[in-house]
Structure 1
Amino acid sequence: MWWMTTLSWLFLVIPMVKTRCDKTVNGKRYKLTIALLVDDNNPNATPQETILMDNIRLAGDAEKCLSPNYVKLKIGESLGLKKHGWAAIKTGMEDAMAFQGTKPNLIIGPFYTNLAMVLEKEGIPYLVTDYKGFDWIDMSRVEDTVKWKTIVEIRPPVQDQNLAVVDKFVVEEWASAIMIMPENPADNLECQDLASQLLNEEVSLIPHSVDVTSNGSGTLINKILLNVRLSRQRHIIVCSPRDERDHLIAKVLKAAKAFNLLSNEEQYFIFVDPSSYLLPFSDATNMFRLRLFSIRCHLLAFRYIRPEGKVDSAMDAAYMDAGRIITVGLSSYISEQTEVTDTFSGARFIKALKSVKLERGKTGKIHFNATGQRIEYKLDLYRHGGEKMYQRIAEWGLNGTDAAERLNQTVPDDGASIKAKYDIFPETVYVVVVIEKPFVMKKASVNGDKFEGFTIDLLESLSKSLKFNYKIYVSPNQYGVRKDDGTWDGMVGEIKNGNATLAMGAISITSKREIAIDFSLGVLTTGVNILISRPDDHYTIFQFLKPFSLELWITILGSFIVVSMVYFLLDYKRPSTKFTARETLWFSMGTLLKRGTDFSPEPISQRILTSGFNFFVLITVATYTANMAAFLTTKDFGNTVDSFESLADNDDISCGTVKNSATKHFLQMGTKPVFKRLWDKMIYSDGLVANSSEGQKKVANGNYAFVYDHLINSYVEGEYCNMKVVASPILMQEHGIGMKEGAPFKTSINIELLKLKENGQIQDWKKKWWEDKRKCDKDGKNKKKPRGQFGVAHMAGVFIFALFGMSCGVAFFLFKKFYLLAKPISEGTKEENMEGEDDNGDGEEERVKRKKMMHSTNPPVHL
């Protein structure tokens, strides 16, 4: 089977051939060690390391021949830059790299003179990302004028950027200025160089230093600007080399607004940030927060980064470009290597790095000279703020013998296109919605379909107050859910893709959506509850018996019999007996029904018994009356759903919610057992629906519960009398307005929403679209029908009891009459006499008394 062995060997060799490096003797990759300088106070340096690695993307021969390895060097612990000389630094670096088995092939980080000396001697490239160290420096690159051979500087030289400002003063013939800068000498070296160049051009300069770390910095800035106003100084230079940390520019702008300097057309502010990041002008959100859209003064700054996009920070931009420079440099190193060797040449690598040319890096155009400094780049002079915001008014370059040649003030203005990206609202605001009652509904009109609803009223109000034009279109796929590939669909996807400016309607603010896009303040508070079909009314004709249980009714009947027996025993064998068996029952029945009788008991024992029995009757009747109204007006819905627990345990009713909704995600990820049971029940019964309208239709068909937004369910309950809302809302959330991350109009919309809430307009709209549109009352009856009236169904049992009593009386009467007619006359007469005696309620003793009174001479006296 030799051919199988050969075939297997080929399968193993072919991948090796593809990945073999032709530049080395053994075909293996060069082990390339890239060391990243790390601050001891922030040893992880994860953002910079991640940015660097993400931007180093080797391909082709470079990928086959190079195997980059990344390590971190702490400037204090590993190198001892703060306390050691260059010799000790070299030893520290060797010790730190000992576990790598080789010295570093490249060092990346801010500038340290002592480290530059070591790397110069060792021939190791030093890719400099900043002019000075993290929190300590032995000498800034601004002061250092050494022509290093191994240094490659990513940022343009500070001296050249300062020269551009000086040239502007010279060309405009501005003779004086006030400079505001940080107080710490380690932070204002760039500013000192600018001041020196201005003085050399005979510009009268008054510098002011501000302790940006002090709480009293604002007071000092106010005093400086007050002097500016009193002295009518028209030119203010704000030099802030670390504005990302110090926020000096924003502090000056806020103070200048208080002194009304921003509304003066003759006032000039020149901002100097050598990183060219200029944090207050980095995006429109910051500019709107500082109210820079309506100013009339001149805000000027030279930038090598055009304000067309946003980076996280100036340092991040430097590391992005560092990754691209390394990628191009390594590719150039491998492609220009002609000999086969296992040695990686540091000298050739330095040369390759200096030969890199990037026409559009994050920090501008990138070209280097022989000493590793940036050349051929351009600085653009921009206006920032006002009607001419982001207008490019000049271009500056190193080529030229004087200020007029270097500063070209006739460049075409491209500020209009940039301004469009940063204006508060675009020319047309596209609003994506989802058709959902009563938020957004279509209505037929002469001119075609238009929209109405709570959201439309809100949008119309915002457009009038904030002055923007809008167009509405329906979302292609509901509200939005994050897919497996990381993209979003629905309203969220429309915002992220730039198709829509605003997403409005019943879109809930969730944590995942908040990460993808920005939201305004909450417009309405909502939750999740259950919509079910309203069960049919179940009345019973003997519902009036329900206030008391069967046991209580038997007990009352028993008490009636017992009391009757006690009356009979207390009156037994008395000379004047009134409580015969028949009279006793009649007296007890009359007392129980509060009818009263023709006579009252005379003995004290009977009166005590009567008092106790009357009190018992009083409490019993009062309790019955109090409960009877509730029981007669309460409908018996049988075995129905009234909570999430009962829905989860009810096997007769299926349930569901809208696919790819916030409610579905909540139930799917719920930790409580009841929500897990509900989710399992939804999956088992295939209860998920495409939209709320489909869910409402299933509810109307019966045996289905729709778990969804409380506000939407409440509207449906008021519109359709055959549905009802149950369970207290859970998952309390806010409906908001979605917009792109960092949208400049977010603050404006939030302020307007607060105004609408404060003046009660939001509540008025809510009443208009929920309460006033309600067609059904809480009991599911049409609101046009009278409420609170009893019908025959409520009192049917009472009528039956009355009819039963009347029937028994009539039957007994008829029975007696027919019975007497069937007997002889003599017996009938006797019977009639007996009946008459019974009817009069007299006994034998009474007949004897009457007979004696008839024969008496004295007439009877009636008392």
Structure 2
Amino acid sequence: MDVSYQNASDIATRYVIILFMTLAQMYNFKIDMTFIDSWGIVREDGKHDGMAGEIERGRSEFGLSTFTMNTTRFDAVDFSFPVWKYRPIFIFLNPKTFGTYEALLLPFPSNVWLCVLFITVFIIILLKLVKKFYLNYLGTGDINDNTWSGNSVIIIGVISFQGFLNCSNRLPERIILYSTLIFGMLVGIFYNAMLVSSLLQPLPSSIQNCQQLIESNMKIGIENLTYYRVYFQTTKHNLAKEVYLKKIKTGDGGFYSLQEGINLVRNSEFAYYSEEPDLYHIMSESFTNNDICRLVEIELITPVDDTCPIKKHSQLKELINLGFMSLKENGVMAKEIRQWRKLLPLCQKNKDVQTIKLQTLIIPYTILICGINLSLVILIIEILICKKCNKIKVSDRKTKNNN
């Protein structure tokens, strides 16, 4: 019953045993234990096996473990005063955004990027039309200055704070350039502010509830306990049934031991389902501060108050309930809960150094490489065309000289 010994194993059961040992001292009785490997499920004959079956058949007076009330157990056992908060949860690490190729795109959603692209293209077209008007109808301007590529370079340079080569003396062009400059400045301010703030504080998780978790690409694992196996296979809870059918039965998920599940959570995009204090005990010892700060937890079911099973119409039921109420009023139960039920480790100020990896800048690298390759291809084509034209000119000269 030492909390430091295997402190992530059978926490609720050991806590209940401590309570009953305290009751044994209060009422001066001894506990004769029988060890069972399961809480108990309904068999084909309508009877329970496991701990519920032992109590149902009168072989035991009460169970030294927490017990969840459900309709299948009401006819088999009675229930004591609530002693434990049962809260199973999914835990996973919030996927990293900084350090990925998406980091430069995350400050704005896709609709904002599309709007910026549309406005940029519109301004390029408008600038070309204005220059074309002055060139064709007023005879001012340079024909080489009104190309699509030239106008694109000017507008993209203005939006990206690179300025423009010269300031036109034509008022409509000046208004377009000044408006574009202000537009680019405001967009850049918001973009840089969002980018910096995303580095200073963690972004909210994109998965906020169980339905989003099911629809995500994240793999799901469940603690390998008989109770969880039976529950997910037979439950009528819609979300729990959907988790089992989509993620466990036909997906890449499965049932894992507590240590295996925690390791998968740390090392991959993986969500693991187990009882809260069992998870917290292992996480407090194996998770780094950065992992704890990225931790996300989601409830599948509403937390319920667990009790202890007692034999039907047992004379000990009233004594046990009065004893538990006395332990709660005197603070003994709260003290034991604080000792056995570990809280979620606190996220300290994140001191981990953020690093820029190659994949972070893959978008600008891709743009640069594609631009260079395109320019080289165009250059090679122009060289081939020039050589062909030169050969034609030389051939024409020889023909003229022969004539």
TM-score range, shorter chain: 0.5 to 0.7
* SS of structure 2 residue aligned to 1:746: helix
Cα pair 2:11 2:277 within 8 Å, conserved: no
Contact 2:219–2:253 (CA under 8 A) maintained in structure 1: no
CA contact (8 A) 1:655 1:685 kept: no
CA contact (8 A) 1:480 1:660 kept: no
Counterparts of 2:285 and 2:97, CA distance in 1: 19
| Other structure's SS at 2:234 match | helix
Could you tell me how far 1:515 is from its partner in structure 2? Answer: 3.4
Is the contact between residue 648 and residue 678 of structure 1 (CA under 8 Å) also seen in structure 2? no
Instruction: Write out per-residue CA displacement over residues 780-803 of structure 1, whole angstroms, 9 at most, x where no aligned residue.
Output: xxx89734x531128842895699
Q: CA deviation at 1:563?
A: 5.5
1:508 deviates by 2.1
Question: What's the CA shift for 1:671?
Answer: 6.6
Greater relative contact order structure (CA < 8 Å, 6+ sep): 2
**Which residue of 2 is the match for residue 755 of structure 1?**
329
1:728 counterpart residue number: 299
Question: Judging changes above 3 Å, is the alpha-carbon distance between structure 1 residues 654 and 565 closer, same or farther for their aligned structure 2 residues?
Answer: closer
Contact 2:12 2:66 in 1 (8 A): no
1:751 Cα shift?
A: 1.9
SS at match of 1:675: helix
Match of 1:513 in 2: 73
The equivalent of 1:555 in structure 2 is 118
Between the two proteins, the alignment pairs up a number of residues equal to 349
Question: Could you state the TM-score of these two structures normalised by the residue count of structure 1?
Answer: 0.31
**1:552 & 1:684 partners in 2: Cα distance?**
40
Paired amino acid for 1:747: N
CA distance in 2, matches of 1:730, 1:793: 40
Distance 2:331 2:133 in 1: 77
Q: What SS does structure 1 have at the residue aligned with 2:67? A: coil
Write the distance in 1 (CA, Å) between the matches of 2:117 and 2:250: 48
Find out whether 1:678 has 2:250 as its counterpart.
no
Tell me the residue number matched to 1:478: 38
Cα displacement (A) at 1:536 = 9.3
1:609 aligns with 2:176: yes
How do 1:216-615 residues align onto structure 2 when only pairs under 5 Å count?
A: 443=5, 453=11, 456=14, 460=18, 467=26, 475-485=35-45, 487-495=47-55, 503-530=63-90, 540-541=100-101, 543-545=103-105, 547=108, 549=110, 551=114, 554-555=117-118, 557-559=120-122, 561-562=124-125, 564-565=127-128, 568=131, 588-596=155-163, 604-615=171-182
Q: Which has the higher strand share?
A: 1
Alpha-carbon distance in 2 for matches of 1:628, 1:759: 48
Equivalent position SS for 1:503:
coil
- CA distance in 2 between counterparts of 1:666 and 1:481 reads 13
Residue type at the aligned position of 1:746: I
Q: Say if 1:462 and 1:749, in contact at 8 Å, map to a contact too.
A: no
Quick one: which amino acid aligns to residue 769 of structure 1? Answer: K
| Counterpart secondary structure, 2:318 | coil
Distance 1:566 1:687 in 2: 58
Looking at structure 2, the residues matched to 703 and 600 of structure 1 have their Cα atoms a distance apart, in angstroms, of 52
- Cα distance 1:562–1:575, how it changes in 2: closer, same or farther (>3 A)? closer
Contact 2:130 2:172 in 1 (8 A): no
1:791 aligns to 2:355 (yes or no): yes
Q: CA deviation at 1:668?
A: 0.7
Say if 1:566 and 1:531 are closer, same or farther in 2 by CA, change over 3 A.
same
Please tell me the residue identity of whatever aligns with 1:675. Answer: K
**Gaps spanning 5+ residues in structure 1: where?**
1-432, 434-439, 778-782, 809-863
The 3-state SS of whatever aligns with 1:443 is coil
Distance 2:117 2:363 in 1: 21
Between the aligned partners of 1:607 and 1:686, the Cα distance in structure 2 is 59
Q: CA separation in 2, counterparts of 1:567 and 1:492? A: 85
Cα distance between partner residues in 2 of 1:802 and 1:676: 40
Greater fraction helix = 2
Task: Tell me the secondary structure at the aligned position of residue 771 of structure 1.
Answer: coil
Partner residue in 2 for 1:738: 309
**Contact map agreement 1:502 1:738 (CA 8 A) in 2:** yes
Cα distance change of structure 1 residues 475 and 731 upon mapping to structure 2, 3 Å threshold: farther
Which residue does the alignment assign to 2:191? 624
Matched with 1:152 is none
Match of 1:770 among 318, 325, 343: 343
2:386 matched to which residue of 1?
none
Q: Which residue of 2 aligns with 1:664?
A: 230
SS of alignment partner, residue 734 of structure 1 = strand
